[in-house]
Amino acid sequence: MKQINVLFFASLRDLTSERMIELSISDSMKIAGLKETLIKRYPQIAPMMDTLIISMNHEFAFDEMEIMDHAEIALFPPVSGG
């Protein structure tokens, strides 16, 4: 098992009532699997999941990337501006 920290920003923080959680994940989990895990735990964020910006250890992360042990995963909702 790997240990990771997941950080929630902006509206995700409001929807989950969490700033950061610690998770134990399988050794082979990828970002896509983490997204599924988070939807099960916080179904209210499901509509945003396809448009989130995700970083792993301060680098962009994509669905097919394997999560490293002790990774810091940050989730950012899409940003709009004008």
pLDDT in tens, 16-34: 999 999 999 999 999 999 9
Q: Report the pLDDT value the prediction gives residue 78, as an integer from 0 to 100.
A: 80
Mean pLDDT rounded to a whole number for the chain: 95
pLDDT in tens, 50-63: 999 999 999 999 99
CA dist 20 and 6 (Å) reads 5
Q: What is the pTM of this model?
A: 0.92
Instruction: Specify the 3-state DSSP secondary structure of 65.
Output: coil
CA dist 49 and 58 (Å) reads 19
Q: Report the pLDDT value the prediction gives residue 19, as an integer from 0 to 100.
A: 98
- Band of pLDDT at residue 82, cut at 50, 70 and 90: low
**Domains of the chain (ranges, CATH numbers):** 2-76 (3.10.20.30)
| Residue 31, both tokens | 């970002």
